[in-house]
Amino acid sequence: MPEEISFDVVASLLLFLVGVPVLILQFMSPEIRNVLRAEGKIIREAIVYLVICILIIVGAVWIAAYKVSPELRPWIWVCLYAVLFLVVGIFSITILSKYGFRENVLKRLARQILNDLPKTGKPNKERLQELIEIGKQSSPGPDREMILELMRSLVDSICKSEKYYGDSLEDLIIGIVHILATQPTAEDTRNYETAAGILTTVLSSKISSGTEAKFVDQFHAVNAMSTLGQAMLSQEAFSAEADYILMDYEEALGLVISVHPELLPDVTQALLAMGSVALYHKRYLFAVATMERMLTLVETNEPVTNKPLGELFGLTAHFWAAGGSSMDLIKMRIPRISELVSEEFSEAIKRAGQRFRMTMRFDTADKLAQMAEDLKPRRTPRKKK
């Protein structure tokens, strides 16, 4: 073996090559490491570069021993060190770029999600589920915000695609709900605001022409807003800022009818769900806003089907059952509501109660029955002569 070669330098380079993956895995976010199975990918790449380094060393030793004169051997070792430094440097930069920074890992995943977009108009389902799972395991606040911002960019790209037909975002929308509504915390306030922006983009999106109109994504976006709104309303830890974010949800649900009027039944159902939860938790500002929004939507979209009217009566019943000032508000709105039905007001309440019983929404049905009983005309007792 030639004496000129310093195997201490070679061993140090190889140890550095092996140590880079260990350092990256140590500081990588647990959710990214687990979901993307990064250990196996990094180790495989490290083995490939290690084999390349060993082949370079063996080749250099063989050339020095059999192919060149002793005077040229020092130059062989210089070239060997230079090539090893280059290989180890390329490996380190590549691994750091791909796995060492959370933002780079997620951006690369987002690009993979959009790989099939030009052909199908839909995201890659498997990669999208990985992004959603990372979001579910991420800590509330900035980490989840990074996931949601990526989802925002995905939604923008998909909705602008010529092949977007209104049914490409179901998994992504449901994923947003799973990320935020499973265990809502006070740190999620900003995350809920970002989610509102994403869902608003979906609700206001236009379907590409030349195909049958589908509103699958819009339907799921309405339901997602309802679920997220209820999650925020049920959390006492949320700050006053949450009320303004909730107003964004309510406003978005109102504006979607101007783009997709066929979603009125789903929007009124969502407003009923959020309004009733708001009343239960004494969030009166938002509860009144949902009531006014629903009444205005029904008035401006006449004639309406029985379902939107039923949802309106359902929310009035929740206000009525709350008593006090909430009941007084409904008493002032009864003339406006009565103009929306052709039958007697009490009969319309009974009919709405039947609909809620049939759909097993017994809480609202019971409140409607209470309201109908309270509004029954009372016989005035005869005065004794």
The burial class, CB within 10 Å (0-12 / 13-18 / 19+), for 222 is: buried
30: CB partners within 8 A, 6+ apart: 137
Question: How far is residue 231 CA from its own chain's centroid?
Answer: 14
- pTM: predicted TM-score of the whole model, two decimal places: 0.80
The end-to-end CA distance of the chain, in Å, is 132
Q: Which residue has the tokens 């009818």?
A: 257
Whether the Cβ atoms of residue 280 and residue 319 lie closer than 8 Å to each other = no
- Mean pLDDT, 10 residues at a time, over the chain (385 residues)? 59 76 75 76 81 80 69 75 82 79 86 87 90 89 91 92 86 94 74 92 76 76 93 76 85 88 92 94 91 93 85 94 92 91 84 90 93 77 55
For residue 1, the model assigns a pLDDT of 43
Q: How far apart are CA 82 and CA 100, in angstroms?
A: 25
User: Residues for the chain: how many in total?
Assistant: 385
Question: How far is residue 221 CA from its own chain's centroid?
Answer: 10
Distances (CA, A) of 225 to 27, 35, 246, 271, 278: 35, 27, 9, 10, 14
